[in-house]
Structure 1
Amino acid sequence: MTREELDRLVAQYTAKTFDQIEDTLALEWEETGLDQYRWNLTDRAYELAGALSHADPEPALQLAREMAPSAAEDALRKLARRLMEAQLKGIKAELEALCGEPLERPPVYVSPLSTPQETPKATPRLSELARQYGDERVARKSWTSRTEFQVRGYLTLLSDMLGDPFIGNVTKNDMRRFGLELARLPSNMTKRFPGKTPREALEAAGDDETVPRLAPNSVNAYTQAIRSFFNWAVEHDHITQSPAAILKNMETGRASEDRHPFDDEDLRAYFRKLDAKRGLLPVEYWVPRIMAFTGCRLGEAAQLCAHDVRQQKGIWVLDINEIEDDKYLKTTGSKRLVPMHPRLIELGLPEFASSAPSGFLWPKEMRTNPNPKGSPVDKLQKRLAYVLRSAGIEDAKKTASHSFRHTVSSRLKALSIPEYQISEILGHELGSISTGRYGSVTDLATLKAVIDQLALPI
Structure 2
Amino acid sequence: MSYPTHLIRRNGHYHYKIKVPVDLQQYFPCTFINRSLKTTDLQEAKTILVGMEYRIYRAFTLLRTGMLSDDMAKKVVSDIVPVREKEVVAKGLLLSGVIKQYVFEKEAQWTPKTRMEMAGVFKVVLDVLGNVDVKSLNRQALLDMRSTLMKLPSNMYKRYPGLTVGQLLEKSNITPMSIKSVNKYMKGIGAVLRYCAKECLIVVNYADGLKIMEKSKPDQERSIYDNADMKRIFDNLPRKEKYPERYWIPLIGSYSGMRLNEICQLYIEDIQQIEGVWCFNINGEKDKRLKNQTSERIIPIHPKLIELGLIEYWQVVKESGVPRLWMELTWMDVNGYSNNFGKWYQRFNRVYVTSDPKKVFHSFRHVVTDTLKQAGVQDSIIAELVGHSQGTHSMTMSRYGKRYQPKVLLEAMGYLEYGIEISPM
| TM-score where L is the length of structure 1 | 0.61
8 A contact 2:281–2:299 mirrored in 1:
yes
Q: Deviations over 1:306-341 (max 9, x none)?
A: 22223456544323333223x333444433333332
Query: Corresponding residue for 2:323?
Result: 359
Pick one of 224, 233, 253 that aligns with 1:291.
253
Query: What amino acid sits opposite 2:246 in the alignment?
Result: E
> What count of residue pairs does the alignment treat as equivalent?
341
Deviation at 1:158, TM superposition (A): 1.6
1:272 and 2:242 aligned = no
Deviation at 1:379, TM superposition (A): 2.7
Query: Corresponding residue for 2:415?
Result: 453
Query: What amino acid sits opposite 2:151 in the alignment?
Result: R
Distance 1:222 1:242 in 2: 15
Instruction: Call closer, same or farther: CA 1:279–1:314 in 2, change over 3 Å.
Output: closer
Distance 1:348 1:338 in 2: 18
Pick one of 69, 91, 94 that aligns with 1:125.
94
Distance 2:150 2:126 in 1: 16
8 A contact 1:130–1:229 mirrored in 2:
yes
Deviation at 1:398, TM superposition (A): 6.4
Distance 1:251 1:433 in 2: 27
Distance 1:363 1:381 in 2: 15
1:143 and 2:115 aligned = no
Query: Corresponding residue for 1:134?
Result: 103
Deviation at 1:344, TM superposition (A): 2.7
Query: Corresponding residue for 1:203?
Result: 169
Query: Corresponding residue for 2:341?
Result: 380
Q: Which has the larger radius of gyration?
A: 2
Q: Spell out structure 1 runs of 4+ moving beyond 6 A.
A: 69-72, 114-120, 430-435, 437-442
Distance 1:439 1:225 in 2: 35
Instruction: Call closer, same or farther: CA 1:398–1:147 in 2, change over 3 Å.
Output: closer
| TM-score where L is the length of structure 2 | 0.65
1:402 and 2:402 aligned = no
Distance 1:432 1:176 in 2: 36
Bigger CA drift: 307-316 or 425-434?
Answer: 425-434
1:175 and 2:138 aligned = no
* Structure with more relative contact order (C-alpha pairs < 8 Å, separation 6 or more): 1
Instruction: Call closer, same or farther: CA 1:378–1:175 in 2, change over 3 Å.
Output: same
8 A contact 1:302–1:367 mirrored in 2:
no
Unaligned residue ranges in structure 2 (runs of 5+) = 3-8, 13-20, 32-88
Report SS of the residue matched to 2:224: coil
Query: What amino acid sits opposite 2:356 in the alignment?
Result: A
Query: What amino acid sits opposite 2:415 in the alignment?
Result: Q
Deviation at 1:362, TM superposition (A): 1.7
Deviation at 1:407, TM superposition (A): 0.8
Deviation at 1:246, TM superposition (A): 1.8
Distance 2:229 2:384 in 1: 26
Question: After the TM superposition, which residues 76-225 of structure 1 pair with which residues of structure 2 at under 5 Å, given as runs?
Answer: 121=31, 124-138=93-107, 140=108, 142-144=110-112, 146-190=113-157, 193-198=160-165, 200-205=166-171, 208=172, 210-225=173-188
Distance 1:303 1:153 in 2: 27
Q: Deviations over 1:282-304 (max 9, x none)?
A: 21122111101111222221112
Instruction: Call closer, same or farther: CA 1:297–1:166 in 2, change over 3 Å.
Output: same
8 A contact 1:413–1:419 mirrored in 2:
yes
Deviation at 1:115, TM superposition (A): 8.3
8 A contact 1:172–1:246 mirrored in 2:
no
1:336 and 2:303 aligned = no
Query: Corresponding residue for 1:306?
Result: 268
Distance 2:149 2:392 in 1: 24
Deviation at 1:220, TM superposition (A): 3.5
Pick one of 423, 431, 441 that aligns with 2:383.
423
